[in-house]
Amino acid sequence: MSAADYDIVRYAPRYKEQIAALPTTLWSTDPALNLSYFEWKYEQNPYVDEPLFYLALRGGRVVAMRGAYGAVWEAGPDRATVSVPCFADLLIEPEHRNRGLVTRIMEEALSHFEELGLEYAFSPSANWVTALASKAMGWREMGPLRAMRLAQPPPFLARLRKSAPTGQLARIRERVARIPGSRRTYRTVRGLAARARRFRPLAASRVRDGESDTAFSAFDSRVNRRRGEGGVSASREARPEAMAALVKEGGGDGRIRHVRDPAYFAWRFRNPLRRYRFLLSEDQSLNGYLVLGSSVQVSARQASILDWEGADSRARAGLLRAAIEWGDFQSLTIWSESLPAETRTLLEAEGFHLIEYGDDLRVDRPRILVRSVGKRDPRDWKLGDRPLLERASWDVRMAYSDAY
């Protein structure tokens, strides 16, 4: 069979049950949870009137899909807003791969975008496989992006570091490093161990009941007993109006960023496949917030800083220190590309280090892909006065990617 033997169609409600049953390797193994995720992401999205979802059918059955969720972006000195949908959730059943379905589905999607009068499409969560396929179809990467991570040592190693004489651990590391192949062996073992302990089978019933919060177990047990510096508190729910007001008061420097209005905050952090915690800094009103996120499938205390705003450096620092102290995370990650030097210095002072991804194209790292809906020269791709393919044009945050 070839791609011509399939029917490429746009979403209709009669396909929803099939969609929920299809992505067992993409979302979860529970169709009910998948259905909840689909409805949140595509039907409850505040920026589109109907789901932007495209399907490949064989004999009337859904065998492949690609979604694009609604998003509104702003750029330029006047913060002009533009609707730019973001592609996500690509899946093709194994027996139907390598038949050109991705190209046909994308052609249908872009044709639909053109009918809607859209100029661009983004892909802010593409893995390396999707990125390679997309670049062959005219997509360009804005990047590469960088990230920083705070990695806490295991308890036994932390105790060893405290008890070992100064310089002793460094001398041990130097001696081990001289052993042929030791570095390669260490990286391999560390990678396999991280993968083994990171993911576990998704217990859908526990997720729906809100019991699978391993990443925030320490955070939740401590937050009720402590209060951070500068009046920092924590919540499981966003405060859309107050958070949007803080973003608006902060203005912006004209870089490309997602619109963060009350509708955005009310919708974005209700993803049923993720867990979130909100740290809030308040004086007379909200003067800062920090959003932590983690997958419900992660069994370790691993989290990410998805969004972070503060009226001043004191508010931002108080939020970060509370997140570190309360969370006791094994790792805490943030996209650092767009952060000002002052904020990167603050992160470094708290122990964050730049993640080295290397040159391997197969590594999944932060990336944002962009594409013109029409056949415009990439040199002319702009939002407002900002060139889309220049990193300096963007204010990027993990919250803009549906992968978190």
pLDDT band at 152 (very low <50, low <70, confident <90, very high): low
Query: What percent of the chain has pLDDT above 90?
Result: 61
In the prediction, which pLDDT does 110 show? 95
- Strand order of the β-sheet with 80-83 is 80-83, 72-75, 257-258
In the prediction, which pLDDT does 331 show? 93
- Pairing state between β 86-92 and 80-83: unpaired
Residue 50 has pLDDT above 50, yes or no: yes
Average pLDDT (69-87) is 95
Average pLDDT (303-312) is 96
Lowest mean pLDDT across 28-37, 170-179, 347-356: 170-179
pLDDT band at 231 (very low <50, low <70, confident <90, very high): confident
Contact between residue 311 and residue 246 where contact means Cβ atoms under 8 Å apart: yes
In the prediction, which pLDDT does 193 show? 44
CA atoms within 13 A on the CB side of 139: 26
Structure-token pair, residue 150: 């705070």
Lowest mean pLDDT across 171-185, 194-208, 282-296, 375-389: 194-208
Find all residues with CB under 8 Å of 103, minimum gap 6, and list them.
Answer: 3, 137
Write the pLDDT tens digit of every residue in 2-12. Answer: 778 899 999 99
Contact between residue 333 and residue 353 where contact means Cβ atoms under 8 Å apart: no
Average pLDDT (92-102) is 92
Selected residue with higher pLDDT from 403 and 370 = 370
Average pLDDT (168-184) is 58
Residue 159 has pLDDT above 50, yes or no: no
Residue 86 has pLDDT above 90, yes or no: yes
In the prediction, which pLDDT does 296 show? 87
The C-alpha angle 183, 185, 187, rounded to 5 degrees, equals: 70
Q: What is the reported pTM?
A: 0.84
pLDDT band at 251 (very low <50, low <70, confident <90, very high): confident
Write the pLDDT tens digit of every residue in 13-45. Answer: 999 999 998 877 788 888 999 999 999 999 999
In the prediction, which pLDDT does 222 show? 86
Q: How far apart are CA 390 and CA 208, in angstroms?
A: 41
Can you give the length of the chain in residues? 404
Residue 246 has pLDDT above 90, yes or no: yes
Whole-number average pLDDT of the chain: 85
Listed residue (307, 273, 266, 290) closest to 399, CA to CA:
307
Helix axes 313-327 and 341-349, enclosed angle (nearest 10): 30
